[in-house]
Amino acid sequence: MMHRSLSFGLALLLLAVVSGCSHVHAYERGKLAHPSMAPASLVGPGEEHMYSVHEGATGGDTAGGGGCGCN
């Protein structure tokens, strides 16, 4: 009984994972390339502060290196 329910659970998990895979057609790629889909737009104030502290100046979120990262 335990083996059967475990097999059923694994089959459901596999079905959920596989159903998320799909081929994206050429005409649909424009929707995925929209600027609202870019992860950079999700950067919050905390991450911006971390970059400015690391760079040692405000606006350091575009280039790497410099600064000690100390507060």
Quick check: 67 and 53 in contact, CB under 8 A?
Answer: yes
In a domain, 70, yes or no: no
In a domain, 26, yes or no: yes
- Distance between CA 66 and CA 57 in Å, rounded? 10
- Distance between CA 34 and CA 38 in Å, rounded? 7
pLDDT reported for residue 8: 94
The angle at the Cα of 34, spanning 30 to 40, to the nearest 5 degrees, equals 140
In a domain, 21, yes or no: yes
Task: Please tell me the total count of domains within the chain.
Answer: 1
pLDDT in tens, 4-23: 899 999 999 999 888 877 78
For 32, 40, 65, the CA distances from 51, given in Å and listed in that order, are 27, 13, 10
**Domain that includes residue 47, residue range:** 1-55
pLDDT in tens, 28-60: 888 878 877 776 655 666 777 776 665 555 554
In a domain, 23, yes or no: yes
In a domain, 34, yes or no: yes
